[in-house]
Structure 1
Amino acid sequence: MTSWDIYPPGVRGVLDKTATAAEDMGKAGKSIQETLPKAAASAGTISGPYCGNAPVGPVAAALSEYFKGWERDLLYVAKRTGNSVNGAIEATNEYLKGDLKMAENKQREAIKEPVIEMPGQSRCRPGEGPK
């Protein structure tokens, strides 16, 4: 890689949009977590004379299986999104630290007293004699 070109305010804008989308996704996930079990319970059971609770009907069983698969995916996406956002934040912060370190190094070099080299003389700083 030859160079980096990161615009921190742009990164912040993307992360803000990502956080908003993740928040909306979280609300939708919570709504489904509350709604699917209710839908499954309302879907009915297999009818007939049974001792105790009647077995779940095919619709309730399908909703339950769907929820199990969906829940894993949602948790994966949520974890992956969080890791990606945190990674982008950390990378941008390190980039800024690097910029500050480079600026500090350049400033330090710029304010050093110059070394004057005259033809036929050794390198001397102002106030020092030849060595």
Structure 2
Amino acid sequence: MTTASIRDAVAAALKEHKPSGPVCYKTAGLRCPASNLTGVAFRFGVLAAVRSLDRGQFVGVMVTASHNPSCDNGIKLIDPDGGMLKTAWEPLIAEFMECSESDGSHWIAGHMRDPESRFDSLN
């Protein structure tokens, strides 16, 4: 697959699975109504894949709701050591969540292609 065809496939998937409203990622992760979780979870999966490929390590995605009302869910990314991501990731996650489908695919390509990406300062 060429970079352009991957970008097109990602853009199509991001268009189909987008958050239904603004999201705010904090240290404890992201909380949203369960009905909004599909688009958010898809984008979290993409971010986990980008982070994993960038670091060459496994990254986790955790869905949590044990302390929330039953209509709410939480979701967060987990680093390879099992800990939370550094707080410097919070604005980066929000930026990606709010990207349009075409901007999102370019955002991914830019971060994966650039060895001096902003990920380097977030490790």
TM-score, length basis structure 2? 0.24
For normalisation by structure 1, the TM-score amounts to 0.23
Q: For CA contacts below 8 A with separation 6 or more, give which structure has more relative contact order.
A: 2
Which is helix-richer, 1 or 2?
1
User: Greater Rg, structure 1 or structure 2?
Assistant: 1
